Structure formats: C-alpha cells, structure tokens
Chains A and B, each alone.
Chain A
Amino acid sequence: MDIELISPSEWVKQQVKSVQDYTLIASRSIANLFTGPRYLADTTQQADLIGWGSLPIIVLTGFFTGAALAQNSGSTLQRFGSVTLIGQLVSLGMVRELGPVITGLMVAGRNASGMASELGSMVVTEQIDAMRALGTDPMRKLVTPRVLSTVTMLFFLTIISDFLGLAGGGVASSLFFGVDSHQYWSTAWQILVFQDVFMGLAKPVLFGFIIATVGCYYGISARGGTQGVGRATTQAVVASSILIITVDFFVTRLSMTLFGQ
C-alpha cells in the first residue's frame, strides 16, 4: 500500500477543516430541533435501537462494575475496620463516575460505530446524495434523530447502570464482607447529595451528544468505499471514547469548583 505524505501546513488545514465540519454537524443537529420538519418516527426508532438494544450490556456491565468496585474498596476498608463505609464508596463511585463513563463507553462502542458504518455506507452508495436530491435534509432526517435519542436514552441507561452497580456492590458486600444489606443501602443512599446526582446526570447528556455527533460526523465524512467505512467506524469509537473520558475529567473538575468537594 502506498503511503501518502502530506506537508505540515496541509495537515493543519485538514485538521481545522475536520473541526469546522464537526462543529457544523453538531450545531445543526441542535438547531434542527427548533424548526421543522421533525422526524418523530425516526427518533423513536433510534431510541428503541439505542435504548432497548443497549439495555442487556448496560445491565451486565453496571452490575459487575459495582460488584468489582465493592470488592476492591471492601478489601481496603477492611484493613482500617471501616467496611461498613462500603456502601458510600460504591454509591459515590457509581453515581459520579463509573455509571456515566462505563455506560457512555459501552454505548459509544455499540452505537457510535453503528452510526458511522450506517451513514458511511449511505455516503459511499450515494444514498445521502439521493436523499438530498429528493429534497430531504439528511441532517434533519438522519443526524438530529440520532442525537436526540442518544442523549435521552443515555440519560436513562445511566440511571439503570447506577442502580444496578449499587445492587452489584450490595451483593458483593454481603457475600464477601458480610455487610448487612439494609445498612449498605441506607449508607449508600444517605451519602448522596445534590451535586453528586447533578454531576452523574449531567455527564450522560454530554456523553450522549458526543457519541451521536462523533458517530454521525465520521459516517457523513466517510470516503473510499468499504475500506473507508471501516476506517470511519473505528475512528468514531476511538474518538468518542477519548472525548468521553476527557470531558468526564473537565466536568468533574467544573462540578467540584462550582459545588465544592
């Protein structure tokens, strides 16, 4: 395979254009919410695909993440004779960080790739051009429903993941450390304050937006046949995963600055 070398200035230009194209897709996906036509059927279909379709993996990953967190924190707390605090640690860890991030990464792996490959295939087979030629805006029909349904579904999937993580932590605490279930749930519940819940529920909204816009951007930008579609799919998962973890750091920092520790 030939390796194509490009000049640094050309590379910079390409990067700037990529950011510009992504910004346009992201901003139009929001702007389209406020003007018609709206595609309710497409949005519902995507919500079903993303929400219901991702439920099994979210249930499993949420439960076992909570259980693993309980085991790790339980063994440390045991050394200090504070194993009863296990519920608090699992609760804070799941609601503030692991619930949103694990759910985001799972949905990114499943749906950002799906969006990139679906839209990418439509681009290389001229279906997107055909849609434009038939007088339909692909941004409205394809991108906005995906963004809206991913944001909405990720919000609820994260709540489910948080709850199952707590349940997994409860099972692990009870089985391996003999923590009373009632005590576990009451400490887990009592430690949570407004800023924890706010941070935990603001993140999936941002992550959902990242997953859908990045997936759609790489799909719409796909070039070069099936190989290009494959490349777009990989890039969509990698870019959305990196962005989720990076944005998570900044949201956590911002939230701590605004509300305190």
Chain B
Amino acid sequence: MSTPPSVLEQRVQQSPANEVTVKFEDVSIAFEDKVVLDGISFELLHGETKAIFGVAGSGKSTLLKLALGLLRPDSGRIFVLGEEVTAMTEDQLFELRRRVGIVFQESALFDSLNVRENVAFRLYEEGKVSEEEIDERVREALSFVELEHTVDMYPSELSGGMRRRVSIARTIITHPEVLLYDSPTGGLDPVTSNTIIELVVKQRDIYKVSSLLVTHRLQDAFTMATHYFERTENKMKELPPGARTEVPFSFLIMRDGRVIFDGDLGQLRETKDEYIREYIS
C-alpha cells in the first residue's frame, strides 16, 4: 500500500486526544409503529473505532444515518464534532457532512459516473480544486485502496469488493475527521474482507480517524481489536497478547433498540450477560 498523505498527518498531529467526537443522548426513533431505537446513548472518542453489533433490523444502519443527519430522531440529541446534528437545518448539515464520511452498505456509487468522477465527486462540488490536483488526489485515494487501474471504469464493471473499496476511496479523499462504515465487509469473501478491515485499521492507527463501524461479522471486529497497522512494514500485524487493550477499539452491542453492552475487548470477554456470551461464542 502507498505512503499516507502528509497533509493528513499534519492534521492528525494537531488533533486533540480524548475528545468526544460523536455523542448520542437518549436517542429514539420509530418507523410507523415499530420502535427501532429506544433511548440509545453512547460516546465515540477521538481516534477510536467502535464496532456496532446487533441482529438484522436492530437499527444499526439507522444509527449511522442519524449521526449524519440523513434521518431525524423522534427524541434525543446527537452531537458530531461538537455540533448538535439534531438542531441543525439541512443547509447547515451540508457543511458538517463535509467533515464526516460514510461508506454505505451497498457502496452507493453513482452509476452514471466512472470511478474517477465518483471518487472526485466531493472535490468537483467544492469547485475550487484544479484538474491537476483532482487527478493527484484521486490517484492517491485509489492507491490507498489499491485500485488505481480502475480509474476509467464504471461501477457496473467492478466486483462487489472493488465497489466497496472505491466507496472508501470516495469517502477518504477529503480526509474526513469521522468515518461511518455500514457493513463494509458484508457479503464479501474473506480475502476481500480482510483487505477492507486492513484499510479501516490503517485509518484508525495512521490517520487517527474516529469511526463507527456497523457489522455483524464478529471475526472482523476481533481482528481490528487485536491488530494494529505497522507503518514501517505498511501492513496490519497482530498485537502481542499483553497489549490488546492498547488499540482504541470498542464494542457496542444492541438488542431490541437498546444498548446492552458498550466497552472494550477485555470487558466483553468478562461479561456475564448470557445473551452477549451466546452472541460472541
């Protein structure tokens, strides 16, 4: 994988530590008569990656859309990067969304645009970036996901895993401070899944990006909790057993629209809750 961009490294060094990046306060939402989220509260710290688990239909993807203001909760407050999302107008949210990236479950690439145009979409919208700089940044983002050769291809010509990686490239091209991943490895083969997990770990360990990651693949979360990105070798490596709580990674487990666990790997292993024990076994 390529060398990370220096402009981001500079920003990372200036970022405050232990600051709350995303905060949910007693958030509830229902669709028609079905309560999907019922009084959800949690915090995501700066540089932390939090994996969100729950059975299908438990509101995991809804939670990400709420964080980005794509949906409005029925009650409760949501803060992202110090701004109260729930009190902002759609126009104000467009500004905030430029600092937050999301990787959708089905990639959500624009099917009428090629890979270059998809990845550069945000830069074109900003309108202040020269074509030369766009080319350079597209190349940089695609090289991060190892897909430089797809630049002129259309989404329909890519495999599911490639689309997911292009979606990650589109998201990281402007170096967002918060990343939201909606089942980034869902439906992918183990090798492609591992590549994507490595990209998530790289974002966490090299760029210190705060992330919420929705998944139902426990093995992916355990990999992220037990591995770190070794910069010198440019690859993900396993942490020694004694250092496994050192990576900023936590688990959030949902059941029936509520949070039933929020903690790190050590706390998860020690939990006495039978449902959680069964879930992780």
Contact = CB atoms under 8 A, between A and B. Distances in A.
Instruction: Answer whether A and B are interacting partners.
Output: yes
Interface of A: 37, 125-127, 129-137
B230 interface: no
Given A125-B111, A127-B108, A127-B110, A133 B95 contact: no
Nearest to A137: B94
22 contacts: A37-B125, A125-B111, A126-B105, A126-B108, A127-B108, A127-B109, A130-B108, A131-B110, A132-B94, A133-B70, A133-B97, A133-B100, A133-B102, A134-B97, A134-B170, A135-B94, A135-B95, A135-B97, A135-B122, A135-B125, A137-B90, A137-B94
A79 B3 CA distance: 89
A140 to B, nearest CB: 10
A130 B163 CA distance: 14
Chain B contact residues, majority secondary structure: mixed
Given A125-B108, A136-B121, 20 more contacts: A125-B106, A126-B104, A126-B106, A127-B108, A127-B109, A129-B65, A129-B104, A129-B108, A132-B70, A132-B97, A133-B97, A133-B101, A133-B102, A133-B104, A134-B122, A134-B125, A134-B170, A135-B94, A136-B125, A137-B91
Nearest to A35: B91
Nearest to B100: A133
Nearest to A129: B70
Contacts of A130: 102, 104, 108-110
A127 B170 CA distance: 13
Interface string B57-78: 0000000010010100000000
Interface in B213-267: none
Contacts of B121: 134, 136
Contacts of B125: 37, 134-136
B98 interface: yes
Contacts, number: 51
Contacts of B16: none
B190 interface: no
A127 B113 CA distance: 12
Interface residues of B, number: 24
Contacts of A126: 104-106, 108
A134 B70 CA distance: 11
Contacts of A125: 106, 108, 111
Nearest to A41: B124
Contacts of B98: 135
Nearest to B125: A136
Contacts of A131: 110
Nearest to B95: A135
Contacts of A132: 68, 70, 94, 97
A133 B68 contact: yes
B73 to A, nearest CB: 16
Q: Which 8 interchain pairs have the tightest Cβ spacing? A: A130-B108, A126-B108, A135-B98, A135-B97, A133-B102, A135-B94, A126-B104, A134-B122
A113 to B, nearest CB: 17
Contacts of B105: 126
Interface string B188-215: 0000000000000000000000000000
Contacts of B94: 132, 135-137
Contacts of B91: 137
Nearest to B69: A132
A134 B102 CA distance: 8
Nearest to B112: A118
A137 B91 CA distance: 8
A37 B127 contact: yes
B183 to A, nearest CB: 12
A127 B98 CA distance: 16
Contacts of B101: 133
Contacts of A135: 94-95, 97-98, 122, 125
Nearest to B65: A129
A132 B121 CA distance: 12
A77 to B, nearest CB: 52
Contacts of A129: 65, 70, 104, 108
A127 B105 CA distance: 11
Contacts of B170: 134
Most chain A Cβ neighbours within 10 Å, of B97, B100, B105: B97
A137 B65 CA distance: 16
Contacts of A134: 97, 121-122, 125, 170
Contacts of A137: 90-91, 94
Contacts of A127: 108-111
A137 B97 CA distance: 11
A123 B77 CA distance: 26
